[in-house]
């Protein structure tokens, strides 16, 4: 019997998402339960959006939760490299194979030509889709253009009619009509593959037997299935996991819930409780108990117990469960966990230089800098009353700061300061005009230690969280304001 091999294949393009951890957990449980292996692969073929920082954060977040992988970019393994950006030659080999077999073709259309094509289709009331123009080029023409060094992409052929049957372990056979599928780009003009080609090639070469992925990928499954067929490869078993949702049932989004695993770490949740909660997403223990460990989940895991009703990621329930875990810890373990959370030498060392010059006794540290050890603060609305600015401009400044800092990928004092400076200048303010607002939001006080240093140390999750708290306290923008303010945001560049 072949060994079960599962994987998680995150794209390192942002904060480590709870959805990634959730899918990782289920893949891990499935593999462990079958005595198989669980692999981590980094899908970083989007050169613009992928970063090494984000990749590292994914490793750290998963490890913090207690999710370990048997093979991966950082631990190695027999099927490496496990980072797609290092596998270009492999994808080229398979792209050429598809070209030779006539399953793929070159397309030289420029982005402008394609825009025009779509505009014309829309004007005719048609759904925009690639019209197969590349297929109409003769071999000679293709060769001439290649010789002339014209930029190109490689696209796959797809059937024009009929349905594709996607065998899903949870839903059974799902039928998707082919006419919904575009002739997908497999190789981009930058010489890197798209998700579709890279994913299929890697899952095959890495011996993946079962793919548990989020259901947002179900609509594009036919393209993957077709690629397996073109290559003549056996397709792994497919399982499309229900998406996590906000309490209002919409797709989990950071506008409504913090979605970064590191946020929960910084807020002081226990990793075991967090993992336990993720295990409750669409799944339950046979005896329906709420609290269980990873080992218990592995022992009782059964894919058939995954329910398709959208699981709700509710921070209040998570907190409740976390409380259960905390109460059952021995006082020794509790103290040790607190210490590890934020009373560890590393964190204290970051804070020490800031408070050292300002206190005469240790007992003054908590009143001065207690906000380093808090999550949400009791914000004081009076502190947001500004000498120069009207209340609405304060709201606008806070919202612009939040948006800009939400988009900031590299988190250090210089970059944070630059963002604040940009917003201040745009609003024709000085940095020092904005500072009182930041003190109010980030430290909850009129003055404290350096707030710019504090933002760096608190990190992106807590900083953004507190800014969001402030925006809400002051009154989140109305729909109309959001539109107007987003225009201002665009001006900021």
- Scanning 9-17, 302-310, 312-320, 433-441 for contacts with ligand GLU by CB under 6 A, the matching segment is 9-17
Closest alpha carbon to 34 in 302, 344, 393: 302
User: And the tokens for 311?
Assistant: 């699981």
- The distance of closest approach from Cβ of residue 319 to ligand GLU in the complex, given in angstroms and rounded to an integer, is 27
- Scanning 7-15, 132-140, 342-350, 440-448 for contacts with ligand GLU by CB under 6 A, the matching segment is 7-15
* Angle, vertex CA 23, rays to CA 11 and CA 35, nearest 5: 115
User: Phi, psi (5° rounding) for residue 343?
Assistant: -105, 30
What is the rounded CA–CA span in Å between residue 86 and residue 421? 38
Is 199 or 265 the residue whose CB approaches ligand GLU more closely?
199
Is 195 or 384 the residue whose CB approaches ligand GLU more closely?
195
Q: Which residues in 14-43 contact ligand GLU (CB under 6 A)?
A: 43
Per CB under 6 A, the list member of 10, 279, 436, 460 interacting with ligand GLU is 10
Is 135 or 205 the residue whose CB approaches ligand GLU more closely?
205
Q: Is the peptide bond before 81 cis (omega within 30 degrees of 0)?
A: yes
Q: How many residues does this entry show for the chain? A: 493
Per CB under 6 A, the list member of 4, 9, 174, 244 interacting with ligand GLU is 9
- The distance of closest approach from Cβ of residue 12 to ligand GLU in the complex, given in angstroms and rounded to an integer, is 9
Is 200 or 315 the residue whose CB approaches ligand GLU more closely?
200
Task: Tell me the C-alpha to C-alpha distance, in Å, between residue 155 and each of 177, 234, 450.
Answer: 19, 22, 54
- The distance of closest approach from Cβ of residue 192 to ligand GLU in the complex, given in angstroms and rounded to an integer, is 13
Per CB under 6 A, the list member of 4, 6, 11, 463 interacting with ligand GLU is 11
Residue at token pair 């460990």: 293
- The distance of closest approach from Cβ of residue 353 to ligand GLU in the complex, given in angstroms and rounded to an integer, is 39
- The distance of closest approach from Cβ of residue 143 to ligand GLU in the complex, given in angstroms and rounded to an integer, is 34
User: And the tokens for 193?
Assistant: 């593959």
Q: Which residues in 394-423 contact ligand GLU (CB under 6 A)?
A: none
What is the rounded CA–CA span in Å between residue 84 and residue 91? 9
End-to-end CA distance of the chain: 56
Residue 46 near residue 66 (C-beta atoms within 8 A)? no
The set of catalytic residues is 254
Is 10 or 222 the residue whose CB approaches ligand GLU more closely?
10
Number of H helices, E strands in the chain: 19, 9
Written as one string, the DSSP assignment of 49-94 is T--HHHHHHHHHHHHHHT---SBBTTTB-TT---BGGG-HHHHHHH
What is the rounded CA–CA span in Å between residue 466 and residue 43? 32
By CB under 6 A, tell whether 55 contacts ligand GLU.
no
Residue at token pair 């560890």: 344
Is 43 or 71 the residue whose CB approaches ligand GLU more closely?
43
What is the rounded CA–CA span in Å between residue 226 and residue 204? 14
Give the interface size with ligand GLU as a residue count (CB under 6 A). Answer: 8
Is 213 or 226 the residue whose CB approaches ligand GLU more closely?
213
Q: Which residues in 195-234 contact ligand GLU (CB under 6 A)?
A: 195, 199, 213, 217
What is the rounded CA–CA span in Å between residue 373 and residue 475? 26
Residue at token pair 């209002």: 248
Compose the 334-373 pattern: x for residues touching ligand GLU by CB under 6 A, - for all others: ----------------------------------------
- The distance of closest approach from Cβ of residue 366 to ligand GLU in the complex, given in angstroms and rounded to an integer, is 42
254 is in an annotated binding site: yes
Strand-pairing partners, residue 76, are: 72
- Scanning 4-12, 56-64, 297-305, 364-372 for contacts with ligand GLU by CB under 6 A, the matching segment is 4-12
Residue at token pair 């995150």: 10
H-helix segments, 314-369:
315-328, 331-342, 345-356, 365-369
Is 19 or 134 the residue whose CB approaches ligand GLU more closely?
19
Task: Tell me the C-alpha to C-alpha distance, in Å, between residue 24 and each of 11, 54, 75, 84.
Answer: 13, 16, 16, 18
Residue 157 near residue 103 (C-beta atoms within 8 A)? yes
- The distance of closest approach from Cβ of residue 239 to ligand GLU in the complex, given in angstroms and rounded to an integer, is 10
- The distance of closest approach from Cβ of residue 185 to ligand GLU in the complex, given in angstroms and rounded to an integer, is 16
What is the rounded CA–CA span in Å between residue 407 and residue 49? 12
What is the rounded CA–CA span in Å between residue 485 and residue 144? 50
Residues lying near ligand GLU in the complex (CB under 6 A): 9-11, 43, 195, 199, 213, 217
Binding-site annotation, residues = 254
Binding-site annotation, residues for ATP = 254
């Amino acid at each position: 019997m072949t060994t079960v091999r599962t994987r998680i294949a995150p794209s390192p393009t942002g904060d480590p998402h709870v959805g990634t951890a959730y899918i990782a957990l289920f893949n891990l449980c499935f593999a462990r339960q079958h005595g198989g292996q669980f692999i981590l692969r980094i899908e970083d073929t989007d050169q613009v959006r992928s970063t090494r920082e984000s990749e590292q954060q994914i490793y750290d977040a998963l490890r913090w939760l207690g999710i370990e992988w048997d093979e991966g970019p950082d631990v190695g393994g027999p099927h490496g490299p496990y980072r797609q950006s290092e596998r270009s030659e492999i994808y080229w080999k398979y792209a050429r194979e598809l070209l030779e077999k006539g399953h793929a073709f070159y397309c030289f259309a420029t982005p402008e030509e394609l825009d025009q094509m779509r505009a014309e289709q829309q004007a005719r009331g048609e759904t925009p889709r690639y019209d197969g123009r590349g297929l109409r080029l003769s071999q000679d023409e293709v060769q001439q253009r290649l010789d002339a060094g014209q930029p190109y992409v490689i696209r796959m052929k797809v059937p024009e009619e009929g349905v594709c049957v996607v065998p899903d372990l949870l839903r059974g056979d799902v039928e998707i009509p082919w006419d919904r599928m575009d002739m997908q780009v497999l190789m981009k003009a930058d010489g890197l593959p798209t998700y579709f080609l890279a994913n299929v090639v890697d899952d095959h070469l890495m011996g993946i037997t079962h793919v548990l992925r989020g259901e947002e990928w179900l609509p594009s499954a036919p393209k993957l299935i077709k690629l397996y067929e073109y290559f003549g490869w056996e397709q792994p078993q497919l399982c499309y996991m229900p998406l996590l949702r906000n309490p209002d049932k919409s797709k989990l989004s950071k506008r409504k819930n913090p979605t970064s695993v590191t946020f929960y770490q910084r807020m002081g949740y226990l990793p075991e409780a967090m993992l336990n909660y993720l295990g409750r997403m669409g799944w339950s223990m046979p005896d329906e108990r709420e609290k269980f460990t990873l080992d218990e989940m592995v022992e009782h895991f059964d894919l058939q117990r995954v329910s398709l009703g959208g699981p709700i990621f509710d921070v209040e329930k998570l907190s409740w469960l976390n409380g259960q875990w905390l109460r059952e810890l021995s006082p020794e373990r509790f103290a040790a966990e607190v210490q590890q959370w934020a009373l560890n030498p590393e964190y204290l060392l970051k804070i020490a230089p800031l408070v050292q010059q300002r206190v005469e006794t240790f007992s003054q540290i908590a009143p001065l800098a207690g906000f380093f050890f808090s999550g949400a603060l009791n914000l004081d609305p009076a502190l947001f009353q500004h000498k120069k600015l009207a209340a609405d401009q304060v709201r606008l400044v806070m919202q612009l700061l939040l948006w800009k800092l939400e988009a900031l990928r590299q988190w250090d004092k210089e970059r944070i300061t630059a963002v604040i400076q940009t917003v201040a200048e745009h609003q024709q303010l000085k940095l020092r005009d904005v500072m009182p607002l930041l003190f109010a939001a980030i430290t909850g006080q009129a003055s404290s230690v350096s707030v710019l240093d504090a933002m760096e140390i608190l990190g992106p999750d807590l900083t953004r969280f507190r800014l969001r708290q402030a925006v809400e306290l002051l009154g989140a923008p109305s729909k109309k304001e959001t539109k107007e303010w987003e225009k201002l945001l665009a001006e900021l560049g």
